Structure 1
Amino acid sequence: MAGLFESAGGGSAAIALDELEVSILRSLEVGMVQMIGPGPGGDGGDPLAALFAEGPTEAPANPMLARLFPDAYGDPAKPEDPESRAASGEFRRYTEVDLRARKREDALHVVRMLDRLGGEGGVLKLDPADCLHWLGALNDLRLTLGVQLEVSEDDEELYELPDEDDRKPLVMAYVWLGALQETLLEAIAD
Structure 2
Amino acid sequence: MSGFTRHRRSGHALATFTAFEADLLRSLASQLIELLRNEAAAPETQDPLEALLDFSGPTRAPEDPVLLRLFPTAYPSDDEAAAEFRRYTETDLRNGKAAGAAAIIDTLEEAGLDDQPEDGMFIDVELDQQLTLTWMRSFTDMRLAIATRLGIEDGDEARWHALPDDDPQAQVHDIYEWVGFLQETLVQAAR
Q: Does the pair score TM above 0.5?
A: yes
Contact 2:57 2:91 in 1 (8 A): yes
What amino acid is the match of 1:85?
Answer: D
Equivalent position to 1:71, from 73, 78, 83: 73
Match of 2:189 in 1: 187
Q: Does the C-alpha gap of structure 1 residues 97 and 50 become closer, same or farther in structure 2, counting only changes over 3 Å?
A: farther
Equivalent position to 1:160, from 152, 159, 162: 162
What amino acid is the match of 2:133?
Answer: L
Distance in 2 (CA, whole Å) between partners of 1:164 and 1:127 is 38
Q: Does the C-alpha gap of structure 1 residues 89 and 27 become closer, same or farther in structure 2, counting only changes over 3 Å?
A: same
Structure 2: which 5+ runs fail to align? 43-50
Alignment of 1:105-116 (within 5 A): 105-116=99-110
What amino acid is the match of 1:137?
Answer: S
Contact 1:7 1:187 in 2 (8 A): yes
| Identity in percent | 35
Distance in 2 (CA, whole Å) between partners of 1:160 and 1:96 is 38
Contact 2:108 2:123 in 1 (8 A): no
Contact 1:53 1:97 in 2 (8 A): no
Following superposition, the deviation at residue 50 of structure 1 comes to 11
- Off by >3 Å, runs of 4+ in structure 1: 38-41
Q: Does the C-alpha gap of structure 1 residues 125 and 166 become closer, same or farther in structure 2, counting only changes over 3 Å?
A: same
Equivalent position to 2:98, from 92, 98, 104: 104
Structure 1: which 5+ runs fail to align? 42-48, 75-80
Quote the RMSD (CA, aligned, Å).
2.2
Equivalent position to 1:89, from 71, 75, 83: 83
- Residues 123-164 of structure 1: CA distance to partner in whole angstroms, max 9, x if unpaired? 100000110110111110000000011011121211332123
Q: What's the TM-score, normalizing by structure 1?
A: 0.84
Contact 1:15 1:124 in 2 (8 A): yes
Aligned residues: 173
Q: What's the TM-score, normalizing by structure 2?
A: 0.83
